[in-house]
Amino acid sequence: MAEQMDQETIERSKAGFSNALEFADYLGIDLYDFQTDVVNTIDLHSDSETFKLALRAPNDSGKSSRIALLAGLCRSGRLPTASI
């Protein structure tokens, strides 16, 4: 996803999204069912300081390009001082 964020996207991200799936939908990121489950799990635990999550999936299944990207963006949106 090499697109630049336009001004509307930046303003919307500052306003906040109710959950990570809404954010993914807004960005036009299509998720597989297993990716949706993982993103929901991350979203449920986003208020806690730390938690562990293990994901086993084949290469090029979107672990880094979709799941980690959404998790990092959502966490930094909710907790601006968080380290990712």
Split at pLDDT 50, 70, 90, the class of 1 is very low
Q: What is the pLDDT of residue 48?
A: 65
- 30: which DSSP letter? -
pLDDT in tens, 30-72: 998 988 998 888 888 776 667 788 888 888 888 888 888 888 8
Q: What does the pLDDT read at residue 7?
A: 65
pTM, 2 dp:
0.67
List of residues 6+ apart from 31 with CB closer than 8 A:
21, 24, 39, 62, 66
Residue 23 C-alpha from the chain's centroid: 7
Distance of alpha carbon 56 from alpha carbon 69, whole angstroms: 17
CA-to-CA distance for 74 and 23, rounded, in angstroms? 8
What pLDDT is attached to residue 19? 81
